[in-house]
Structure formats: C-alpha cells, structure tokens
Amino acid sequence: MLDIRASSPSRRRARWLARACWVAWLACAAGLAEAGAGDEAPASPAAAVGAGVAEPRPDTAPESLYFEDIPSVYTASKFEQPILEAPSAVTIVSGDEIRAFGYRTLADVLASVPGFFVSYDRNYTYVGVRGFSRPGDYNTRLLVLVDGHRLNESLFGTAPMGTDFPVDLDLVARVEVVRGPASALYGTHAFLGVINVVTRRGRDVAGAEVAAGYGSHDSVEVRGTAGGRVSGAGEALFSASYLRSGGRESLRYGELAVPPDEDGVTHRTDEDQSVQAFAKLSSSDFELVAGHGDRGKDVPTASYGTLFDSNLFRTEDQFDFADLLYRPTLAEAYSASLRLSFDAYHYTGDYPYAAEPGDDVGGGVVMNRDHADSQRVRTEGIFGWSIAGRNQLFVGADLRLEYRQFLENFDVDPSQVYTHVLHDELDWGVFAQDELRLSSNLLLNVGARFDQEDTAGQRLSPRAALIYEPIAGTTLKLLYGEAFRVPNFWEIVYLYSDQEKPQSGVRAEVLRSAELVLEQRLGAVFQGTASLYRYRIDDLINLREVTGDGVSSYCNLGRVEVVGTELALDWRPATHVGARASYSLQDSDVTEAAPAELTRAPRHLARLAVMLPVIEDALLSATEVRYVGTRTGVSGARSGDFVVVNETLSSVALPHGIDLSLSLYNLFDQRFSDPASIDHTQDFILQDGRTVWLRVGYRLEP
C-alpha cells in the first residue's frame, strides 16, 4: 500500500486555515442576510472589478443580448468592457442562442465557437481548442468559471463539459469565451482559454418555471426554477434539475469481438443520470452562488481492460461549490471586491475485471474501485481605481488551500489496497493589470501575475495587448501572453501498472502565444473577425505508453508549436434573426521528443448557424451545420471528416407562458467517430446517429 501524507505541521496549518476561512464565510453570510435591496450593476467599468458578471447596458433588454450592438465582456480583464476593447479574442454566446439552437451541454455551446471542437468517449466529454486536445487530459487546459467562480477541481484538474457540468443550461444568461492564455489573471488552468458561464438572476425569472423533456434512447429531464426580487433582501433564484438517459441499447466494437462466442456487441451499458441544484442570492453589495451536480455514467467501451458487455463499469462525479462575493460601494473612481469560495469534489469508479483461473471470487468478477475526494477553500481580493478616466488599474491577490486531496485504489472483494494517497496544498498568487488609453483610438493593456505553487514552485505570467482603431468600425489587436499549467495531483502520483510508487519529476508546462486580431464592423448588422495566432508549448505534460505491454505514464515531452487562423462573420439584424459563419485552420509542428502528430485535433473546422422565424412572432427555426476535418488517433490511424446538421424549432411568445421546442440532432444520420485514448482498445469511438428531443416549458408569473 502506498501512503503519502502531508507532514503534521502542514496538516495543522491546513486545518487552521480552513477553520479561519469558514469563520469569515459565516460572517459574510450573516452580512448578506442583513443587507438591503438594491441593483448590483456597477456604475462604471472600474466598479465591476471582481463581479464575475457583465451586466447588459440599461437600454438593452435581456432577451436581446445576442443581438446587442456592441456587447460587453467581463472575463477578459476582470472588469466589464466593450468586447472590441478586450485584450483577447472573445466570443459571447447568449442564453437565447443556447435555447434557440437546442444546446444541451456546455460542450455543445463551445462547439459553436470558432476554433473549438469536441470529442466523446461515452464516459466523458473533451473540449479542444486551436488544434490542441490530448488523450488523458480531462479538459485541464481550459479554465471554467461559473459567475467568476473557478470550477476546475484539483485532483484531476477536471473542467466538466458534458452532463457532469453542475449547472442547468436553462439557467445560463450568457457564456463568455476568451481564447488564448490568461494565466496573467487566473493562474494555472487558464492555458488555452477561459470560459465564464454567467447565470440568470432572480429578476430574470420573476416567478416560477417548470420544464420537461423527452428524447431518443428513453431520455427524460425535468426542471423547476423559482426566482424574483425579494423585498428588503435583493433578489433570489433557486432551481433543481434531473436528467436520465438509457443510452444506446446496443453498441458494437469490432476490436473487442472474440469469435465465436463474442460478437463485439454490448447491450444496455450506456446509461447516463445526473442531478443538479443551484441557488443565487444577491443584494447591493453581496452575491452568493451555490451549486451541486451529481452525475453517474455506465461505461460501455471496456476501457482499461475491464469486462466487456457488463453494466458494472460505472463512474460517478459530484461537484459542490459555494461562492460569496462582496463588492462594497465606494467612490466612483474606486472599486473593490472580496471573494470567498468553497469546493468539494468526489469521484468513484467501479472497474470490473475477470478473476484469474483458480481465484475464489464470487461470480468470477473482481471489482476494482477508484475513490477520490478533494476540498478547497479559496479567497481573492481585488482593488481597482480609475485615474483621470484614462487609466484603469487594479491589483489583486488570491490564496487557495487544498486541504484534502485523497486518492485510493483497491479491490473490493477480496480486499486489497493498491494506492492510498493523502495530501494538503497551499498556493497563492498576486496580480496586477493596467489599461491605459494612450489616445482616443489607441489602448494599451499590460498585466502580470506571480504564483507560488506547492507542486511547481514560482511562476511569472505576463501579458500585453495593443488595441488600435484606425478608422471607425475597424479594430486591430496585437496580443502577447504567457500561461502555465502545473501538473495536477493525478498526473504526479499516476502509477505504473506493476509498481507501487508515484511517477515523479513532472514539471509545469508553459505556453507562449502571439496573436493578431482584426475586427471589422460592416454597417449596422455585420461584423467580421479574423485572427492569426502562433503559440508554443514547452515541457508538454502527456500520457503515453512507456513499454510495449500497455504500461503508461504522465511525463514531460518536447516542444509543440501551433500556427492557425480563425475567420468569422456575424449577421445580426434583429432579435430572432441572424447568422454566424466561421472557419478555422490550424497546423502543428512538434519536436522528436513529442508525438509525431497531435492526436484528436482536426486541421479544418467550419460552421454555419442560421436563425430565422418560420411564423412571425410564433415559430423560430435554428439550423446549425458543423464540419470537422480528419483527426489522428493514438495508433496513427485517421478518422474520416464529417458534416453534422442540427435543427431546432422553438416557439416564440406563446400564450399562457408555454414554451415548446423540437430538436433533431445529426439530422441526416451521419456516421462518424471520435478518437479514443490509449486506455481504450478501440482507436475510435462511434458517436450517435440521428436523435430527437422534445421539450415543454411553462412560466408562471406572479
């Protein structure tokens, strides 16, 4: 048995800091209960520091956010600013767009964004961006936020993207997608981009909502939401959701066929079930956000050499989080925020294996189990001020205590423990950013962050952006940034299959990126964007086979360089009318120490999304066409390219608060597969054909 524990003084320090944070948490919660009502929108961009939510302009109705003239974004700079002035390539997907196109997971939303692509191994959903997605990576190179709260857990670095995402998409007001390195603001995980999911507020519900859906593979979902303004206490929103899908009744994997007894077909081993709960309370100075997500998934692919055609292989992920944000009202030129958050993550994986001949095991099955828990307390403070209306400056610091990181692997019966790992970790960072208006059409944004990480030492992450508007409607952005990702706890202690010692010496990987962005407004309804980027990753952390008998390990490989371009054109003349087209091209170059070609990543991506009314003010059609180029599997084989068409018909302003929608995914039943990882026998995992989803909603206003 392997037992790695923090030293006694370290554990005492961890417990003391955890108690101190909880005392502060309770004190702030008491303040929330006493706080008076009031609007939470900041009076100026500086006042939005630390908010995590970009408010719409007062003259813009919430339902028209997608078609806003010049939308604002918070995530790129940690304060609200026009998207044309953001020091990054930014895409905003509104809640209206999410519902109109029938997106059902966060991965669906991101797959509509230029440069993003998705793969699914019938257990987890993986999101790649700009030509990069590695097998064995649980979305660790993308930072996911919910209302500014960091969601990536610490054990595996997981950013949930599929049905494991703990917030129902019906509660989303907008998703802000920032492409490129952002460690200068956020530290680790903000490697290739940051996704901030901004949720609705109580006033956006103003009553109660219920919804139910039924679809292919015996899938059902229900949701109940209540919210509104609360006299004397601001506003509140509460919601709960449940989803269950029986999955494909049968799936065939020829690589697992063992004639004459087995045909490579598995039956009823694809079930997916999740529960979500969410609450959001806010007043003039406080905002409290809390969520719970619990998802269990049967795994039909027999990965890790488990028994095939067995419904005993199951994984369960549970995310719990709470975030309390305090924004005191200061003079107009000043702003401040204090954030205190708590996260808990729980994972259980049951892996059935055939017993060895002669073993006295009931049913001939040995159940191996992974058990993992982590708990985190984090606090962040930011202070900002505006100097003569030309200089937006802020400084901040955060402290992150991982006071329980626990991993265990054992056989259930007969009992045998293989791994038992317990660890505490304390990390901190300080950061600063200055947005200086050099002239009426020239903006300079510079920032840097210094991090002290227990597992990776000290890191400095700078960034700079020069934003120039030569003529009205034309914006040029020259961007440079550096980012890092520390190896997560799983990558550090990942075990060889026949040894009882953790893999050591895995270093942080570092990214350096340069990008040129042209944003051109064409009249009142067209906007075009062109990006040309080049980034380099050193000391890439990669999962690879290190012997010929399937033994694998995480280790640092050589250098990866990627060059790419993204082109996008938006047409948005009015509410419920619009189109978005995009094309992405990326090319990678690697050293001899790295893989010969980056797997999973397509070279070409193209998308077209069109939203048009079928019946004016009654029925809306949203059609999306996605093209994904060929991709390379871990064995070197290539998948075919494919085109998928999705169609959603939804009601507009039906009487009595009723909403209806019908979605047809993969309308033409395209057959396609996603690359698998080295943990699979299969090179590629077949994806679903045509599926149908019908939803009915009802809104009750007081």
What is the pairing mode between strands 526-538 and 560-574? antiparallel
Instruction: Indicate the range of 8-22, 327-341, 658-672 predicted with least confidence.
Output: 8-22
Task: Report which of 67, 63, 68 is spatially closest to residue 82, judged by C-alpha positions.
Answer: 68
Place of tokens 């209206």: 96
Q: Which amino acid appears at position 80 of this protein?
A: E
Identify which of 162-166, 259-263, 571-575, 596-600 has the greatest average pLDDT: 162-166
Mean pLDDT, rounded, of the chain: 86
**Domain CATH code at residue 462:** 2.40.170.20
Range of the domain at 138: 3-700
The C-alpha atoms of residue 363 and residue 538 are separated, in whole angstroms, by 49
Number of domains comprising the chain: 1
CA distances from 349 to 107, 314, 352, 505 (A): 23, 6, 10, 27
CA distances from 439 to 202, 394, 662 (A): 40, 20, 51
User: What value, to the nearest 5°, has the Cα angle with vertex 187 and ends 181 and 191?
Assistant: 30
The C-alpha atoms of residue 31 and residue 289 are separated, in whole angstroms, by 15
Name the percent of the chain lying above pLDDT 70.
85
Task: Report which of 464, 589, 451, 431 is spatially closest to residue 508, judged by C-alpha positions.
Answer: 451
Task: Check residue 498 and give its pLDDT.
Answer: 37
Ranges of beta strands (E only) in 327-390 are 334-354, 365-387
The pTM assigned to this predicted structure is 0.89
Q: Residue 472 gets which letter from DSSP?
A: T
> Tokens for 559?
């250098």
CB within 8 Å of 17: residues ≥ 6 apart: 377, 401, 403, 426
The C-alpha atoms of residue 433 and residue 97 are separated, in whole angstroms, by 32
CA distances from 505 to 421, 485, 487, 494, 655 (A): 17, 15, 10, 12, 63
Per-residue model confidence as pLDDT tens digits over 363-421: 789 999 999 999 999 999 999 999 887 899 999 999 999 988 899 999 998 889 988 88
Ranges of beta strands (E only) in 74-201 are 81-82, 89-94, 116-120, 125-129, 142-146, 149-150, 172-179, 193-199
CB within 8 Å of 32: residues ≥ 6 apart: 281, 283, 286, 288, 324
Indicate the pLDDT class of residue 2, thresholds 50, 70 and 90. Answer: very low
**Cβ distance 161 to 110 under 8 Å?**
yes
DSSP helix/strand/coil, 14:
helix
**Cβ distance 510 to 539 under 8 Å?**
yes
The C-alpha atoms of residue 83 and residue 516 are separated, in whole angstroms, by 15
Query: Which DSSP string do the residues of 58-103 spell out, in sequence order?
Result: TTS-GGGGGG-SS-EESTTTTS-EEGGGSSSEEEEEEHHHHHHTT-
User: What value, to the nearest 5°, has the Cα angle with vertex 557 and ends 552 and 558?
Assistant: 155
| pLDDT higher than 50, residue 298 | yes
Question: Average pLDDT of 674-700?
Answer: 93
| pLDDT higher than 80, residue 166 | yes
Per-residue model confidence as pLDDT tens digits over 445-478: 999 999 998 877 899 999 999 999 999 989 999 9
Task: Check residue 342 and give its pLDDT.
Answer: 97
Per-residue model confidence as pLDDT tens digits over 596-635: 557 778 999 999 999 999 998 899 999 999 999 999 888 8
**Cβ distance 477 to 466 under 8 Å?**
yes
CA dihedral 340, 447, 475, 93 (to 10 degrees): -20
**Cβ distance 405 to 424 under 8 Å?**
yes
Task: Check residue 9 and give its pLDDT.
Answer: 41
CB within 8 Å of 280: residues ≥ 6 apart: 147, 199, 200, 201, 202, 227, 236, 237, 287, 288, 289, 290
Task: Check residue 596 and give its pLDDT.
Answer: 53
Task: Check residue 552 and give its pLDDT.
Answer: 64
Alpha-carbon dihedral sign for residues 277, 282, 287, 288: negative
**Cβ distance 598 to 130 under 8 Å?**
no
Instruction: Indicate the range of 188-202, 268-282, 496-510 predicted with least confidence.
Output: 496-510
> Tokens for 626?
């996605």
Per-residue model confidence as pLDDT tens digits over 423-441: 888 999 999 999 999 999 9
Helices (H), 391-488: none
CA atoms within 13 A on the CB side of 138: 20
Strand partners, 474: 520
CB within 8 Å of 523: residues ≥ 6 apart: none
Indicate the pLDDT class of residue 41, thresholds 50, 70 and 90. Answer: very low
Task: Check residue 510 and give its pLDDT.
Answer: 95
> Tokens for 39?
């609007």
> How far is Cα of residue 321 from the mean position of the Cα atoms in its chain?
15
Q: Which residue would you say has higher pLDDT here, 474 or 137?
A: 474
Q: Which residue would you say has higher pLDDT here, 42 or 636?
A: 636
Indicate the pLDDT class of residue 542, thresholds 50, 70 and 90. Answer: confident
Indicate the pLDDT class of residue 518, thresholds 50, 70 and 90. Answer: very high
Name the percent of the chain lying above pLDDT 90.
65
**Cβ distance 49 to 336 under 8 Å?**
yes
CA dihedral 468, 470, 472, 478 (to 10 degrees): -30
Question: Average pLDDT of 241-248?
Answer: 96
Per-residue model confidence as pLDDT tens digits over 101-128: 999 999 999 999 999 999 999 999 999 9
